[in-house]
Copies of this chain bind each other. A is one copy, B any other.
């Protein structure tokens, strides 16, 4: 459950809603035809660019953003250091059973590879190739949202142009100018709102999440290879902690708290 995203969306909707209602009748801002052309046009152009399946995948991506429970990086480090200690005492094969119980499929795969006695270079190749493709897949998800964030204001402006042309060519009745212009502008409003309150921040969110996941996978690769090389658990911990500054990514912000630290921090 991602608190920031949920709070941000609610706050944004309330703010815009208040701005709309506080001015008087809110109904003038509701125009289904305008919504259809802005959102519909955006989805249509996105479908041309990607495929039906990829466009549908954004609902799954939304689930990822809102529901995903994240593993704390500290947990990963302590898991790996634990494995390193066990492997030192009892040998690599002793890891097999524990590995099978892991929820994290990437770590499980890594442990399995070294238990099978795979060549270290091949272990690295296989796991890094996996990361590369996870990264590409995540990038594609972000790209879909970014594309929609570019297209929705464009289709909003298109709707406004259609409304303007209509209104201007029927300028016989000057009293209708205001209303026509207002309706024409609604699509621009919708397009801009969708892009700035939804598509663009969502793409950013997916990127933040993706970077966190990729980082964790990189830590796992280093850890698994260290275990295979039979390195001292203390050195393994040292190495992995360099990846996760201080007490892990969750302290990223705190470490900036003390300005003295920010210049001298590690």
Contact = CB atoms under 8 A, between A and B. Distances in A.
Contacts of A243: 129, 133
A49 B208 CA distance: 8
Contact of A48 (B4, B125, B161): B4
Contacts of A193: 158
Most chain B beta-carbon contacts within 10 A, residue among A54, A71, A200, A216: A200
A104 B264 CA distance: 5
A23 B169 CA distance: 12
A261 B60 CA distance: 12
This chain's copy number in the assembly: 5
Interface stretch (A28-36, A84-92, A93-101): A28-36
A3 B182 CA distance: 37
Contacts of A18: 36
Nearest to A246: B133
Nearest to A23: B166
Contact of A168 (B105, B109, B122, B178): B178
Given A48-B5, A64-B262, A264-B103, A170 B15 contact: no
Interface in A153-202: 154-155, 157-159, 161-171, 175, 177-179, 181-182, 185-186, 188-189, 192-193, 195-198, 200-202
Instruction: Tell me whether chain A's interface is mostly helix, strand or loop, or mixed.
Output: helix
Nearest to A12: B44
A76 to B, nearest CB: 11
Nearest to A177: B171
Complex A-B, nearest 9 residue pairs according to Cβ-Cβ distance, in ascending order: A171-B178, A8-B47, A49-B204, A8-B48, A12-B44, A48-B201, A168-B182, A4-B51, A129-B242
Interface of A: 2-5, 7-9, 11-12, 15-16, 18-20, 22-24, 28-29, 33, 36-37, 40-41, 43-57, 60-61, 63-64, 67-71, 103-107, 109, 122, 125-127, 129-130, 133-134, 137, 140-141, 147, 151, 154-155, 157-159, 161-171, 175, 177-179, 181-182, 185-186, 188-189, 192-193, 195-198, 200-202, 204-205, 208, 213, 216, 235, 238-239, 242-245, 252-253, 255-257, 259-266
24 contacts: A3-B51, A4-B50, A4-B51, A4-B54, A9-B44, A12-B41, A12-B48, A28-B166, A48-B204, A48-B205, A50-B208, A57-B253, A60-B256, A64-B262, A71-B264, A104-B264, A122-B235, A130-B266, A133-B242, A133-B244, A133-B245, A140-B252, A151-B196, A167-B178
